[in-house]
Structure 1
Amino acid sequence: MVIYLIIIGAAAGFIATRLMKVEANIVITMAIGIGGALIGGLLLRVLLSVLGIGAGLVGAILGAVLLIWLYQTYIQKNGPRF
C-alpha cells in the first residue's frame, strides 16, 4: 500500500504541478503528490470503491492541486515564518 501511495503520489504530483504551472524539484513534486494522494484518498474513498484504481489517480491529482493552491495562497505570498 505504501509503494502504491508513492507511485500514484509521484505521478499525481507531476501532473498537478504541470496543471498549476508550478516549477518544483522532484522531492517537492513527490511530496505534493503524496500529500495530495492522502487528501484525495480520504475525500474520494467512495469513488475509489465504485470506479476502481483510476479514481485513486483522479483523487490524488485533485488533492495535489488543492495543496498547491493552499501553498500559493497562504505560504508563498506571505513567505515562510521561521
Structure 2
Amino acid sequence: MYSGIVEILLLIALGTGYIVLYFAQREEKLMQLTGYITGGVIIVLSAAHLLASLFLGLNINRASQKQYRKSLIRQHMMQQENMMKQKR
C-alpha cells in the first residue's frame, strides 16, 4: 500500500514539474530560468524515483519467487525421500 501512495505522489510531482515548465515559458528571463531549473529537477527526480521503485520492485518479486520455487523443490525432495523410506 505504501509504495502505491508513493507512486501516486511521484506522478503528481511529475505533472507539477510539467506545469512549472509550462508557466516558466511565459515569464521573463530570470524567472524563466528558475522555472526551467525547478521543473527539470522535479521531473528528473520523480521519474528517477519511479523507475528505481519499479526496478527494485521487480527484483524483490523475482527474489521472492525464486525463494518460493526453492522451497517447493525442497518439499518435493522431502516427499520423495519419505516415499522411498516407506517402501523399504
TM-score > 0.5 by shorter chain: no
TM-score, normalised relative to structure 2 = 0.33
TM-score, normalised relative to structure 1 = 0.35
Between Structure 1 and Structure 2, the one with more helix by share is: 2
The structure, 1 or 2, with the larger RCO (C-alpha pairs under 8 Å, 6+ apart) is 1
Which of structures 1 and 2 has the bigger CA Rg?
Answer: 2
